[in-house]
Amino acid sequence: MADAMITARMIASKKATGNQVFEKLGSTLSQAINQLYDYVIAEKKLPFSEEHSQKPTVQELRDVQQRMRNLSKEFSLGMSRFSHMSDDEIRQERLIARGLATEESFQ
């Protein structure tokens, strides 16, 4: 079977950056294009267009919202110990905790 050539146009900087990434991944543009064609032929669809073009469902949005709330709570719990302290008080607390100072050092 004879090889065929494919031509595509893109911004030169994108090509250069992409080629660097392909090299780091141990691949080439030709290998990636061949894999893309293999996928499209086998699946009869693009590997990325459907997932990214669909709007999220209400449940997906609620899930993300809940995860954000949980992260916010975790962050708040972690910060509550220092939330009422000034920067100097926080530094003093850390020095004492590390054994580099005592309470008397700051009186």
Give me the count of residues in the chain: 107
Task: Describe the chain by its helix, strand, coil percentages, rounded to 5.
Answer: 65, 0, 35
Tokens coding 36: 């893309």
pTM value > 0.95: no
- Fill in the DSSP letter of residue 25: T
Reading the chain (107 residues) residue by residue, the pLDDT tens digits are: 788 888 889 999 999 999 899 899 888 888 889 899 988 888 888 887 655 556 778 888 888 888 887 776 666 655 566 667 788 888 888 888 888 888 888 77
